[in-house]
């Protein structure tokens, strides 16, 4: 098996996606990606991310392949969880404090920074609108994030999300109040839930 065939096999096993970092980790030279691109066997969709030609363009999935620390959050997470009917015009992601997000911001993405202690709180795997796996904050973490005082989230969007959540059969009030306590927004969450429940 040639080195190019090894890369193509890696792509097949990885839903048609590969990053230049994965190629390097496999002990292969990155120039092989350029060779495969030149012969149209793969397509470069963004810096460091390559796909097979038959893979649908999934911007959300590509973004997380390139920026592995980014977690879809806030308005974007509301949409992914069905807590909002507004399609986000711009994606919102959260990264840990100190993360170099200069290139990420060039991708027309709103970036939120949080300290390392709460960065991992509530991360789950969900499906992008095109069905590819992506990382997103769960419903409870998202609700806590959108009611923070420094958030620029539209009040109508927040009210709608809270109503959808309150009527959801899979709501987890224990988890919601635990997160609210840890994220210091318990009084705000309590006010919404007292009205809605």
Q: Which domain holds residue 8?
A: 3-55
* Higher-scoring residue by pLDDT: 91, 59: 91
CA 70, 161, 153 angle in degrees (round to 5)? 60
**Is the pLDDT higher at 3 or at 123?**
123
Question: Does 71 share its domain with 107?
Answer: yes
Residues 7 and 83 in one domain: no
Let me know whether 87 and 125 are in one domain.
yes
Region of poorest pLDDT, from 30-44, 45-59, 147-161:
147-161
39 and 101 part of one domain: no
Domain match, 104 and 190 both: yes
Please count the other Cβ atoms lying within 10 Å of the Cβ belonging to residue 80. 22
User: What pLDDT is recorded for position 12?
Assistant: 87
Q: How confident is the model at residue 24 (pLDDT cuts 50, 70, 90)?
A: very high
CATH code (residue 10): 1.10.10.10
Please tell me the total count of domains within the chain. Answer: 2
Mean pLDDT for the stretch of residues 180-193 = 92
* CA count, 13 A, side-chain hemisphere, 52: 15
Euclidean distance between CA atoms 40 and 23, whole angstroms: 18
Beta carbons within 8 Å of 62's beta carbon, 6+ residues apart: 17, 45, 46, 49, 51
């Amino acid at each position: 098996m040639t080195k190019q065939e090894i890369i193509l096999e890696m792509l097949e096993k990885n839903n048609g996606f590969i990053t230049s970092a994965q190629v390097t980790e496999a002990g292969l030279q990155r120039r092989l990606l350029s060779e495969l691109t030149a012969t149209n066997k793969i397509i470069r969709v963004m810096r460091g991310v390559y796909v097979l030609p038959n893979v649908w363009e999934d911007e959300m999935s590509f973004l997380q392949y390139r920026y592995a620390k980014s977690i879809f959050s806030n308005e974007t997470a509301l949409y992914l969880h069905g807590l909002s009917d507004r399609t986000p015009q711009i994606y919102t992601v959260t990264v840990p404090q100190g993360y170099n997000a200069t290139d990420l911001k060039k991708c027309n993405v709103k970036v939120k920074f949080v300290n390392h202690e709460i960065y991992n709180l509530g991360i789950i795997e969900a499906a992008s609108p095109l069905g590819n796996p992506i990382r997103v904050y769960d419903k409870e973490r998202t609700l806590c994030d959108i009611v923070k005082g420094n958030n620029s989230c539209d009040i109508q969007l927040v009210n709608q999300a809270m109503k959808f959540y309150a009527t959801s059969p899979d709501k987890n009030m224990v988890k919601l109040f635990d997160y609210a306590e840890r994220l210091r927004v318990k009084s705000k969450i309590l006010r919404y839930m007292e009205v809605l429940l």
